Chain A
Amino acid sequence: MSAPTSTAPPETAKARPAEPTRTGRAAEGASRGDEGGRASLGQRNATAFRGEAGAASSRAAKSVMVLVLFAVIAFAVAETVPWYRPVGGGEDPDGVAEAIFERYVVAFEVLGVLLTAALLGAMYLAIREASP
């Protein structure tokens, strides 16, 4: 992704509403098409929304990037994963119990400690102090 499309102007940061605008939806909606046309579409619509042009073209570039990622993964799956072998038949509750409570019991205990620490930390952070 090129640098000028990825950086939004800093003054537009606070002016942006919480909901995605029509500009962002238009930029995301076009799934197939040339990137330049999509960016110009976003910028043309953004004239109605002042200061949204940089954010819209950045979002379009990011959408293209993620679509390319998905295409690469789908291509790799189509090349490597066998097509006619279904999933199933491997469900074995005894195996799950043996995995959790025997082979990975240390990870299980560490996870319990982690959950307790996260709970305490979240409580410490989130509980409002009593006003004096």
Chain B
Amino acid sequence: MIPLYAYVLLAAALFAVGLLGVITQRNAIRILISVEMLLNAANINFVAFSSYWGHADGYAFALFAIAFAAAEAAVGLAIFINLFRLRETVDVTALAAMKG
């Protein structure tokens, strides 16, 4: 049996990698992938603790989070497709039109 701390440490590592991707990458697609990694780290924690406590709410929340991530990825990709048609780039540092 895998102990609980292994799940939590895996989720923490996945969250750290995803956060590093979000704050360092400039390609919008890579940032989307990193955001998915953040959501999946949270899902690992949901499922691990749900199984640990023998309570099914965490499974349901993880399923809802997966569906939400699908919707978010679809809308984000559509936005970036339009952005690429407009500006010929998905480099987020080049998109400073609304920068304060």
- Residue numbers of A with Cβ under 8 A of B are 8, 10, 13-14, 16, 18, 58-59, 62-63, 66-67, 69-70, 73-74, 77-78, 81-92, 95-96, 98-100, 103-104, 107-108, 111, 114-115, 118-119, 121-123, 125-126, 128
Contact = CB atoms under 8 A, between A and B. Distances in A.
Chain A contact surface mostly: helix
A120 to B, nearest CB: 10
Interface of B: 1-5, 7-9, 12-13, 15-17, 19-20, 23-24, 26-27, 48, 50-57, 59-60, 63-64, 67-68, 70-72, 74-75, 77-79, 81-82, 85, 91, 93-94, 96
Given A73-B16, A96-B60, A125-B81, 16 more contacts: A18-B27, A58-B24, A69-B19, A84-B3, A85-B3, A87-B1, A90-B52, A90-B53, A91-B51, A95-B56, A100-B60, A108-B64, A111-B64, A122-B75, A122-B78, A125-B78
Contact of B75 (A14, A91, A121): A121
B26 A16 contact: yes
Nearest to A104: B60
B4 A99 contact: no
Contact of B74 (A16, A96, A107, A122): A122
The 8 A-B residue pairs with the shortest CB-CB distance in the complex, in nearest-first order: A86-B1, A95-B56, A90-B54, A118-B71, A125-B78, A99-B60, A122-B78, A13-B93
A9 to B, nearest CB: 11
Nearest to B6: A87
Nearest to B57: A99
A77 B77 contact: no
B3 A86 contact: yes
Contacts of B19: 66, 69
Contact of A62 (B24, B60, B68): B24
